[in-house]
A and B are shown apart, each in its own frame.
Chain A
Amino acid sequence: GAGVSQTPSNKVTEKGKYVELRCDPISGHTALYWYRQSLGQGPEFLIYFQGTGAADDSGLPNDRFFAVRPEGSVSTLKIQRTERGDSAVYLCASSQTGTPGEKLFFGSGTQLSVL
């Protein structure tokens, strides 16, 4: 597609459940990023992939959060045992090579609501 695509756009789940959020980056972009945006805040970095590998996962809040990018394209963010505090918009972005200073292209995000 022309831009970064995220599915679903909205996800409502119950506390304790497992969720998966999908990101389809711009074709050919080797770098992929996940951010989390809480209401009234700026996006906060979660994890960065260079190709298939997680080059920096320092932003993942705890071990309930995990992300994969098995073929270097689509990525899935997985959250186990969801908590109400996980409710936020999860944004995915991609860039061509991951070079510092490169422009990031963002998707529209997945609004996650944990009841």
Chain B
Amino acid sequence: AQKVTQAQTEISVVEKEDVTLDCVYETRDTTYYLFWYKQPPSGELVFLIRRNSFDEQNEISGRYSWNFQKSTSSFNFTITASQVVDSAVYFCALSTRGGGGNKLTFGTGTQLKVEL
């Protein structure tokens, strides 16, 4: 069975601070995919990034960066110089080749509040 743990329920930061959202996953599959989605108040889940289990390169996209470490089963997400528009719930998710289609297992999410 797959499991995703996001231990941080809520994080509050002041604008321009850096913030890291933690994600720890569990799976017995050797081939798997990790995702981050953003859910603003409108409710629609917005795709941010996908990583497969064979690619441990970290990635940077503008103010966003992701640190994938198989040794610790973690896929953490860092926002540099946070902005008020970053306020949302962020979900980490996992899928495996053994599942049907691209069935995602989500964590419980981290509510990020960025204040002025």
A residues near B, CB below 8 A? 3, 31, 33, 35, 40-45, 48, 50, 55-56, 58-59, 89, 91, 93, 95, 98-109
Contact = CB atoms under 8 A, between A and B. Distances in A.
Contacts of A35: 104
A33 B101 contact: yes
B47 A100 contact: no
B99 A100 contact: yes
Nearest to A56: B100
Contacts, number: 80
6 contacts: A3-B44, A33-B103, A40-B108, A42-B93, A42-B106, A108-B42
B58 interface: no
Interface bracket on B: 20 to 34
Find the residue from A31, A58, A104 having the highest chain B CB count within 10 A. Answer: A104
Given A41-B108, A42-B109, A101 B102 contact: yes
Nearest to B107: A42
Nearest to A57: B100
B104 A43 contact: yes
Nearest to A101: B33
A102 B104 CA distance: 10
Contacts of B96: 100
A95 B106 contact: no
